């Protein structure tokens, strides 16, 4: 296989914080050892619930945040520790689109100035001049190039996000990290912005790390998908494997809650996860998902499951008892004697917590709602 555009290994971010009345030092383990590659022109979707470390990851990828450990290689070059000056030429290749199109645009600058900023900061004078280039970019993202002199407040949310996209494209990057680029927008215009990004991706052969909490949006945009839980990737693979044959219980639970990505031909089985996501200040031992997992066994509390390709499917899964390889796993395997049982049924009702849990499973207090 060709060298990946981006190669991430062991990427980690721990935020130092002070806790409680004593102000004791503690670490928020926001991102805890991610491994993944992104190839040129490819889209990788990064999904997971709020707080699982997506934004922290995205910001580390473009070096807006310093990793605590691990490495980021871009085109074969280790960029993890490059200083500001050494990073400058790379800024052209690596761009980010922020979640909030309101706070990410300077209200006192015209659209022309905002989109031109990356060119100016990098001392680039494109053929034909900055203004012509900016107008070309505005046109590319579906905005009127004549609106060059307007201010952000004169635009709608969707239009503002288009301005953010034009700014990200100004330096003709090779990779764009899009951090929930449509979640702050009205549902009615989300599809338009996603479609614009898809068109640009194809036309310009851009690679994307597309971050979202919404699995439905990621499905339309990403060829490969990584599912995150509490600072870890729990499953990563091709879109079809992740959406049609999920093997990690968490992925399965997430998918069961999204009507239009429910497994084809299967009655919809909603798995309702109960309990909160544990705090990254003190994540569970072993498998971090075990406090909400209906399949948890003793081993899940003591041994962290490695992210591995399991027999029968192409994606990598971090689970001691992954779902079966074929179909969407309507029937969960019985992982071991005395195992907890999953009891999803058609419909959407809450069942009693599954019985017969042993060891780690018992402290979970989870429920599987079918």
Ligand X SMILES: Nc1ncnc2c1ncn2[C@@H]1O[C@H](COP(=O)(O)OP(=O)(O)O)[C@@H](O)[C@H]1O
> Which residues are CB-neighbours of 227 under 8 A, at least 6 positions away?
47, 48, 233, 234, 235, 236, 242, 248, 250, 251, 254
Place of tokens 């060891």: 359
The entry of Mg ion, ligand SF4, ligand X, none near residue 252 (CB within 5 to 8 angstroms by kind) is none
* Binding flag, residue 191, ligand X (CB under 6 A): no
CB of 71 to ligand X, least distance (A): 19
Instruction: Select the span of 33-41, 56-64, 283-291, 346-354 touching ligand SF4 (CB under 6 A).
Output: 283-291
The entry of ligand X, Mg ion, ligand SF4, none near residue 270 (CB within 5 to 8 angstroms by kind) is none
Q: Are 96 and 103 in contact (CB under 8 A)?
A: no
Report 56-95 residues binding ligand X (CB under 6 A).
Answer: 56
The entry of Mg ion, ligand X, ligand SF4, none near residue 295 (CB within 5 to 8 angstroms by kind) is ligand SF4
* Pick from 207, 247, 215, 235: nearest CA to 44: 207
Residue 219: phi and psi, rounded to 5, are -60, -40
CB of 28 to ligand X, least distance (A): 4
The entry of Mg ion, ligand SF4, ligand X, none near residue 30 (CB within 5 to 8 angstroms by kind) is ligand X
H helices present in the chain, as ranges: 54-61, 84-91, 111-121, 130-140, 157-169, 187-204, 215-221, 239-244, 249-256, 298-302
Report 306-345 residues binding ligand SF4 (CB under 6 A).
Answer: 319-321
Helix (H, G, I), strand (E, B) or coil at 74: strand
The entry of ligand SF4, Mg ion, ligand X, none near residue 53 (CB within 5 to 8 angstroms by kind) is ligand X
Question: Which of 70, 173, 249, 329 touches ligand SF4 (CB under 6 A)?
Answer: 249
The entry of ligand SF4, Mg ion, ligand X, none near residue 289 (CB within 5 to 8 angstroms by kind) is ligand SF4
Beta bridge partners of 213: none
Question: Which of 45, 53, 158, 322 touches ligand X (CB under 6 A)?
Answer: 53
Instruction: Select the span of 50-58, 185-193, 299-307, 358-366 touching ligand X (CB under 6 A).
Output: 50-58
Q: Which is closer to ligand SF4, CB of 55 or CB of 339? A: 339
Q: Give whole-number Cα distances, 14 to 43, 65, 118, in Å.
A: 27, 11, 30
Report 48-87 residues binding Mg ion (CB under 5 A).
Answer: 54-55
Instruction: Select the span of 33-41, 46-54, 196-204, 347-355 touching ligand X (CB under 6 A).
Output: 46-54
Q: Are 232 and 318 in contact (CB under 8 A)?
A: yes
Instruction: Select the span of 53-61, 214-222, 253-261, 348-356 touching ligand X (CB under 6 A).
Output: 53-61
Question: Which of 55, 135, 161, 269 touches ligand X (CB under 6 A)?
Answer: 55
Rounding to the nearest 10 degrees, give the CA dihedral for residues 257, 260, 262, 263. -170
How far is Cα 24 from Cα 253, in angstroms, rounded to an integer? 36
* Binding interface with ligand SF4 (CB under 6 A): 249, 287, 289-290, 293, 295-296, 300, 305, 319-321
């Amino acid at each position: 296989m060709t060298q990946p555009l981006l190669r991430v290994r062991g990427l980690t971010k721990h935020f130092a914080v002070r806790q409680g009345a004593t102000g004791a030092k503690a670490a928020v383990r926001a991102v805890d050892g991610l491994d993944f590659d992104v190839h040129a022109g490819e889209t990788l979707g990064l999904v997971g619930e709020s707080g699982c470390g997506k934004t922290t990851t995205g910001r580390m990828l473009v070096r807006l945040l310093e990793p605590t450990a691990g490495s980021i290689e871009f085109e074969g070059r280790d960029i993890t520790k490059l200083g500001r000056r050494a990073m400058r030429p790379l800024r052209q290749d690596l761009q980010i689109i922020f979640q909030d199109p309101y706070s990410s645009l300077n209200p006192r600058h015209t659209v022309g100035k905002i989109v031109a900023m990356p060119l100016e900061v990098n001392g680039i004078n494109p053929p034909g001049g900055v203004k012509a280039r900016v107008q070309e970019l505005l046109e590319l993202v579906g905005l009127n190039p004549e609106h060059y002199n307007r201010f952000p407040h004169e635009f709608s949310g969707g239009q503002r996000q288009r301005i953010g996209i034009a700014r990200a494209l100004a330096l003709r990057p090779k990779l764009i990290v899009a951090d929930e680029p449509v979640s702050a927008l009205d549902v009615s215009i989300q599809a338009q912005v996603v479609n614009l990004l898809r068109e640009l991706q194809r036309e310009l052969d851009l690679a994307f790390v597309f971050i979202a909490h919404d699995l439905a949006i990621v499905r339309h945009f990403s060829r490969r998908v990584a599912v995150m839980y509490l600072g870890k990737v729990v499953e990563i693979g091709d879109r079809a494997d992740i959406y049609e044959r999920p093997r990690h219980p968490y992925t399965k639970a997430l998918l069961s809650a999204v009507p239009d990505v429910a497994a084809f031909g299967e009655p919809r089985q909603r798995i309702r996860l109960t309990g909160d996501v544990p705090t990254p200040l003190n994540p569970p031992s072993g498998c971090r998902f075990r406090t909400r997992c209906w399949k948890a066994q003793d081993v899940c509390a003591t041994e962290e499951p490695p992210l591995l390709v399991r027999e029968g499917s192409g994606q990598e899964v971090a689970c001691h008892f992954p779902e079966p390889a074929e179909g969407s796993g309507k029937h969960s395997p019985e992982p071991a004697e005395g195992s907890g049982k999953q009891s999803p049924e058609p419909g959407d009702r809450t069942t009693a917590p599954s019985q017969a849990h042993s060891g780690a499973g018992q402290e979970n207090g989870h429920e599987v709602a079918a």
